[in-house]
Structure 1
Amino acid sequence: MGYEDKDYVTRMAKQAGEVLGGLLGKKDAEEILSFGEEKRASDTLVDAIILRKTVKADIPEILVIFEDAKNYLKEQGSPQWQDGHGPTEDSILKDMASDASYVLVQNEAIIGTIALVGGVDPVYEAIEGEWQGDLDYVSLHRVAVSQRTRSKGLGKVLLEQSIEKAKELGYQDIRIDTYPANKPMLRLIDKVGFSYCGMVQFPFKHGERKAFQLLIQ
């Protein structure tokens, strides 16, 4: 096929698109002419991901995620989750006992974990700053994603789905904290809409945390 033949095919395809567009509408016509490529391109990572309750069989993989996260923080020079102050199997079991532990799953593989802890948090009650409002709140703790899936936006997906779950549970006040030098987490918290409220202090060395709040209207 020569250059002129290719131009002819291009013109015919364009004309076919215009005709189909007039009959079906632009979007449907594009899907037909692209043989579904547009649809496949719109099948995003989020579509295949769910947030569900943790079960006992998940614990080994969650522990791997926590251990990798601790090592990553250590490599970044952060004291967060170091010296025995990070999440443990006991903390997972405690969260499970109160129906607070969740995992982010893609194709049956665990790619993230989080705890949605309802009720008054004594550390949060002693904030150096001010929370807005006096609604019952849920706190997001022990947030981590698999290091195998870093830089794929899964941290944002985890927080967004956790916020939706909190709303389903009836909460309009969602709170979270992180170490002041944890820049990736600070950016993530900002991206999903939290507002800075002040500082809280956990009862151990390097326990200072920036605290944030998201109010659902």
Structure 2
Amino acid sequence: MNVELQKADHSQAVKIWEILQKAIQRRKAEGSNQWQDGYPNLDIIKTDIEKEQGFVLIDGEDILGYCALILNDEPAYAEIEGKWLSDDDFVVFHRVAIDDGHLGKGLAKKMISLIEEYTLENNIYSVKADTNFDNMAMLKIFKNLGYTYCGEVYFRGGARKAFEKVLSKTSINI
């Protein structure tokens, strides 16, 4: 497998939405309330793509996963109950989802490593993210990749665990 992270385009929106719908169903089956309130949805994906914030994890022509990458713009993060590790520029990632047919291959971890590379390529040294308190898979990935728990942030009325990783040129684990 030769996976890459690249900006999504509008022709990929339907496939991305299929991947996210299955991820939403998985979260529900796991008993989680994350992503059970109409978010994310196809309009969000289209907006991500229009703003050039939507990214696909691909292997050749196959879309394996999706995420949104946002530079220095996450209003909820300014209201953290806790403290970030840094106040410098940052990349935040949201809406991480891997296609059902490719689960269990370490692709979410690979995607986040590629996000870290993208961050460094843009001369930014901080990656921030959040997840629901019951998203055990993502919590495990954060731990395994060296992310630090910084506190809680709030989205759509619910608390999320917030994490940050401060990067150096030697911190990428691919």
The TM-score normalised by the length of structure 1 is 0.75
Distance 2:67 2:56 in 1: 6
Unaligned runs of 5+ in 1: 1-44
Is it true that 1:189 corresponds to 2:142 in the alignment? yes
Q: 157, 160, 166: which one pairs with 1:209?
A: 160
- Residues 1-217 of structure 1: matches in 2 within 5 Å? 45=1, 48-84=2-38, 86-204=39-157, 207-217=158-168
How far is the alpha carbon of 1:135 from its aligned partner?
Answer: 0.4
> Letter of the aligned partner of 2:162 in structure 1?
A
Distance 1:103 1:165 in 2: 13
Distance 1:168 1:87 in 2: 28
Stretches of 4+ aligned residues off by more than 2 angstroms: none
> Letter of the aligned partner of 2:44 in structure 1?
S
How far is the alpha carbon of 1:196 from its aligned partner?
Answer: 0.5
Structure with more of its chain in strand, by fraction: 2
Structure showing greater radius of gyration is: 1
How far is the alpha carbon of 1:83 from its aligned partner?
Answer: 2.3
Distance 2:141 2:86 in 1: 23
How many residue pairs get aligned? The number is: 168
Q: RMSD of the alignment, in Å?
A: 1.1
Task: For residues 87-140 of structure 1, give each alpha carbon's deviation from its aligned partner in whole angstroms, at most 9, with x where no partner exists.
Answer: 112211222222211000013110001111112311111111001221011111
Task: For residues 157-180 of structure 1, give each alpha carbon's deviation from its aligned partner in whole angstroms, at most 9, with x where no partner exists.
Answer: 111111111211221111000000
Higher relative contact order (CA 8 A, sep 6+): 2
